């Protein structure tokens, strides 16, 4: 039997998928109505989190942050049967994942962090990506059930907390990607170019195909054979900022990028490939 704690958009669809696969699932959520809404699909909802986990061999969590995970698990502890496995899909800090792994082992339980790159639709359909690292025997035992929950289970090895770090890195990229797209749309509006035309550009020219090559160039440490010189990239960045300002608009992240570019130009890297601005990350 499974318990699921945290039945928001992601958790509720994980539960529905489990029920569809004929699993018995007990659920709890801080907002009780979100748990009881799953009873129509066959789940059993509980007001008290300790009651929700009673008898469960595996307890899944999808909560907000480290604090909420610690609070909910502490409240659930009286009902958790000895030897149960806790699988936490919450995006948390690396230190938090490490700390809980050790503390719950000392209590006689298995805590396994398994964050995801999955939206609600992925959770319902068993697609997307789930990340995992740590004790390889624990992972081997969990792999059959976790693989049913996701399109791809990615094992990052024996280092506890590494999956948490990878998840944060991925989310950092997504935040930067979305912020960059927001600036691009602001620039488009400043130039009176409709968003539909921007969408048409990206449908025909997909910059995502450049990611691996850009990553390799940035991490190579070799910048003296440029495909786009830093000085030229800085010139274009100035044009972005100028066009937006002329239209009375403000770009969110381009000014900070321009400032970083200026630092590297001042260091004498103007003729190098513009990816030199990532050199300090190596």
| Structural fold of domain 166-281 | 1.10.1040
Report the distance separating Cα 70 and Cα 67, nearest Å: 5
- The string of pLDDT tens digits covering residues 119-130 is 999 999 999 999
Pick the CATH number of 2-159 from 3.30.1360.20, 3.10.20.30, 1.10.10.10, 3.40.50.720: 3.40.50.720
Interior angle at CA 273, CA 268 and CA 274, nearest 5: 85
Evaluate if residue 282 carries a pLDDT over 80: no
Summary mean pLDDT of the chain = 96
Given strand 152-155, what is the order of strands in its sheet?
A: 116-117, 129-132, 152-155
Q: Where are the domains of the chain?
A: 2-159, 166-281
How confident is residue 86, by pLDDT bands cut at 50, 70 and 90? Answer: very high
- The string of pLDDT tens digits covering residues 48-68 is 999 999 999 999 999 999 999
Mean pLDDT of the region 215-232: 94
Q: Where are the beta strands (DSSP E) in the chain?
A: 2-5, 25-28, 44-45, 58-61, 85-88, 110-113, 116-117, 129-132, 152-155
- The string of pLDDT tens digits covering residues 68-80 is 999 999 999 999 9
Report the distance separating Cα 192 and Cα 241, nearest Å: 15
- Please give the pLDDT value at position 185: 98
Residue count of the chain: 282
- Please give the pLDDT value at position 178: 97
- The string of pLDDT tens digits covering residues 208-219 is 999 999 999 999
Evaluate if residue 138 carries a pLDDT over 90: yes
- The string of pLDDT tens digits covering residues 10-56 is 999 999 999 998 889 999 999 999 999 999 999 999 999 999 999 99
Place of tokens 């990553």: 215
Which sign, positive or negative, has the C-alpha torsion 250, 251, 256, 257?
negative
- Please give the pLDDT value at position 171: 98
């Amino acid at each position: 039997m499974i318990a699921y704690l945290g039945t928001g958009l992601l958790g509720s669809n994980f539960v529905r998928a489990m029920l569809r696969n004929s699993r018995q699932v007990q659920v709890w959520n801080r907002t009780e109505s979100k748990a009881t809404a799953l009873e129509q699909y066959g789940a059993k909802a509980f007001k008290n989190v300790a009651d929700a986990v009673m008898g469960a061999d595996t307890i899944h969590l999808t909560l907000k942050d480290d604090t909420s995970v610690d609070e909910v698990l502490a409240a659930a502890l009286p009902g958790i049967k000895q030897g149960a496995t806790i699988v936490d899909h919450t995006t948390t800090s690396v230190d938090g994942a490490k700390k809980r792994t050790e503390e719950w082992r000392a209590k006689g339980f298995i805590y396994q962090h398994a964050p995801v790159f999955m939206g609600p639709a992925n959770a319902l359909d068993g697609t997307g990506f789930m990340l995992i690292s740590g004790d390889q025997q624990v992972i081997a035992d969990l792999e059959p059930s976790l693989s049913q929950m996701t399109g791809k289970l990615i094992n990052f090895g024996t280092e506890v907390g590494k999956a948490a770090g990878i998840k944060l890195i991925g989310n950092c990229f997504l935040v930067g990607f979305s912020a960059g797209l927001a600036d691009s749309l602001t620039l488009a509006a400043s130039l009176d170019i409709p968003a539909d035309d921007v969408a048409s550009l990206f449908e025909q020219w997909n910059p995502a195909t450049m990611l691996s090559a850009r990553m390799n160039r940035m991490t190579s440490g070799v910048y003296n054979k440029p495909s786009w010189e830093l000085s030229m990239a800085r010139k274009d960045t100035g044009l972005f900022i100028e066009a937006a300002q002329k239209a009375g608009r403000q770009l969110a992240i381009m000014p900070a990028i321009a400032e970083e570019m200026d630092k590297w130009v001042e260091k004498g890297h103007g003729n190098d490939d513009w990816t030199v601005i990532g050199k300090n990350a190596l």
